[in-house]
Amino acid sequence: MINISLEIEKLVKFALSKNLITKWDTIQVRNAILDILNLDVFEEVEGEVPLEDSPDILENISKWAVENNVIEDSIVYKDILESRIMAEVIPKQGEIVKEFYENFKESPKKSTDRYYEISRASNYIMTKRVAKDLHWTTKTEYGTLEITVNLSKPEKDPKAIAAEKFAVQTNYPKCLLCIENAGYKGRVNHPPRKNHRIIPVELGGDQWYLQYSPYVYYNEHAIVLSEKHEPMKISKGSMKKLLEFIELFPHYFVGSNADLPIVGGSILSHDHFQGGNYEFPMAKAEVEYKFNVSKFPNIKAGIVNWPMSVIRISSKNREELLDFANEILEKWRAYSDETVGIHAFSNETPHNTITPIARRRNDEFELDLVLRNNRTSDTHPLGIFHPHEEYHNIKKENIGLIEVMGLAVLPGRLKEEINILTEYLSKGNSLESIKNDEKVSKHYPWITSIKENIGNNIEEDIKKEIGIVFSKVLECSGVYKRDEIGQEAFKKFIATL
């Protein structure tokens, strides 16, 4: 039986240990939690209160709340309750912003370190769920690629799905990235954000905000978002913001998804970037072909050894780098080469754009500009430069910023499918079993083609082959293929610069 008073005291102790509250706040915080749980009385706890992490404490409180009919037994209502509770034990928005910029005076890293700590401690970043994700790496001809199978985002249960039918339909907040999410209570059809705080950052003369992703895919997975709910737009202005951001936070990279369907991210309706304190595989890739541009003699430029089509440019001069980046963008938007299937327009519909990524290399600013094209065809209805159908058993979704940089985000179904395939491949007549099992039959052609590569360590070998498929998926998404024809065509575009 759960002692709810003990769980409340654990949470108070946790908050004190993370400097989320002071000792003068403890009574108020305790009473606020009692109010949320519809309790009138707090029973004194005898003995030493153990120090535990917030997700474990909140799990116990939610369990108690279900058992005592405070909430329904649903992940949606548990999340709403836990968000409400944590909102009472973390500082208000203004206090966090004040602390952030006081730390910033000492160092940008100190400010983000503390903000990230608060975001984890508040359970806004779902650390316990993120820990469920599968992770591994695979060595390829392009270096070591990273793979994650996304298991952290919970699926809605039948109760929540049924409740959605009767939920009030509203456009507040307009999307998951809008600043109105900060402190929002949540509902069955919108996640709770009572424990969410955001940091104002001015970029390009506009008001933007810094926050972290609740389901981080890498260290300090940050989201930088516009104050206004406006569509994604790759432009000189957006690249200026990227460069300004890494000047403010030189220990972070920052990049933007492309601004067209198919080659863009999952949310095109709200202008935003993603960044963080992390070095992706693409950042480690070397330049394999260098070129000079007479108009910009101080800029280093080249093509990166990468499955997608990447131009890397760098300079100590931020403004000059921005001018060249914009020239590449403008040239690419209008560029066509029918010999390799690149068409800039279909009538008035544009197809060419870029995925830009900014980082610091010592005292230099560096931009990786990934050339993208979102054209479709009868053969490839989901996208010509998109994961091809032969790889849809592993990856069918858009190739966004994170994957462009070498981290695959794969669907959660693969965990079970890897286990089933491992079981079948450990027995005789495995191919026939795979072919006849509807859960994994989609993998039959692929497994047939790689069976000779599967040794005694079956599961690890399957994961290795999944990593190789990811490299092939990135090759599909590259506008210039890695063969001689593709690379000569790439250099032909470079010559226009």
Nearest to 198 by CA among 226, 237, 240, 238: 226
pLDDT in tens, 295-319: 999 999 999 999 999 999 999 999 9
Averaged pLDDT for residues 23-33: 97
In this prediction, residue 60 carries a pLDDT of 98
Q: Does 72 score more than 70 pLDDT?
A: yes
Q: How far apart are CA 411 and CA 289, in angstroms?
A: 35
CA atoms within 13 A on the CB side of 99: 19
Nearest to 386 by CA among 483, 478, 257: 478
In this prediction, residue 333 carries a pLDDT of 98
Which amino acid belongs to residue 77?
Y
Q: Give the pLDDT band of residue 158 (cuts 50, 70, 90).
A: low
pLDDT in tens, 424-449: 999 877 899 999 999 999 999 999 99
Q: Report CA 321 to chain centroid distance, whole Å.
A: 27
pLDDT in tens, 358-411: 999 999 999 999 999 999 999 999 999 999 999 999 999 999 999 999 999 999
Q: Give the pLDDT band of residue 170 (cuts 50, 70, 90).
A: confident
Q: Of the given ranges (64-68, 133-137, 261-265, 325-329), which has the lowest mean pLDDT?
A: 261-265
Neighbouring CB atoms inside 10 A of 468's CB total 17
pLDDT in tens, 245-299: 999 999 999 999 999 999 987 789 999 999 999 999 999 999 999 999 999 999 9
Percent of the chain with pLDDT over 90: 93
Residues paired with 238 in a beta bridge: none
Q: Does 234 score more than 80 pLDDT?
A: yes
Nearest to 399 by CA among 471, 294, 348: 471
Q: Give the pLDDT band of residue 185 (cuts 50, 70, 90).
A: very high
In this prediction, residue 427 carries a pLDDT of 87
Q: Does 74 score more than 90 pLDDT?
A: yes
Which amino acid belongs to residue 39?
L
- Cβ-contact 147, 463 below 8 angstroms: yes
Averaged pLDDT for residues 123-136: 96
Q: Give the pLDDT band of residue 168 (cuts 50, 70, 90).
A: low
- Cβ-contact 273, 242 below 8 angstroms: yes
pLDDT in tens, 98-111: 999 999 999 999 99
pLDDT in tens, 332-357: 999 999 999 999 999 999 999 999 99
pLDDT in tens, 209-229: 999 999 999 999 999 999 999
In this prediction, residue 152 carries a pLDDT of 87
In this prediction, residue 14 carries a pLDDT of 98
Residues belonging to the chain: 497
In this prediction, residue 16 carries a pLDDT of 98
In this prediction, residue 94 carries a pLDDT of 97
User: Any residues with CB less than 8 A from the CB of 469 and at least 6 apart, and which?
Assistant: 391, 394, 395, 446
Q: How far apart are CA 433 and CA 444, in angstroms?
A: 9
pLDDT in tens, 475-486: 999 999 999 999
Q: How far apart are CA 450 and CA 431, in angstroms?
A: 11
Averaged pLDDT for residues 141-156: 88
Mean pLDDT of the chain: 95
In this prediction, residue 164 carries a pLDDT of 59
Averaged pLDDT for residues 452-463: 95
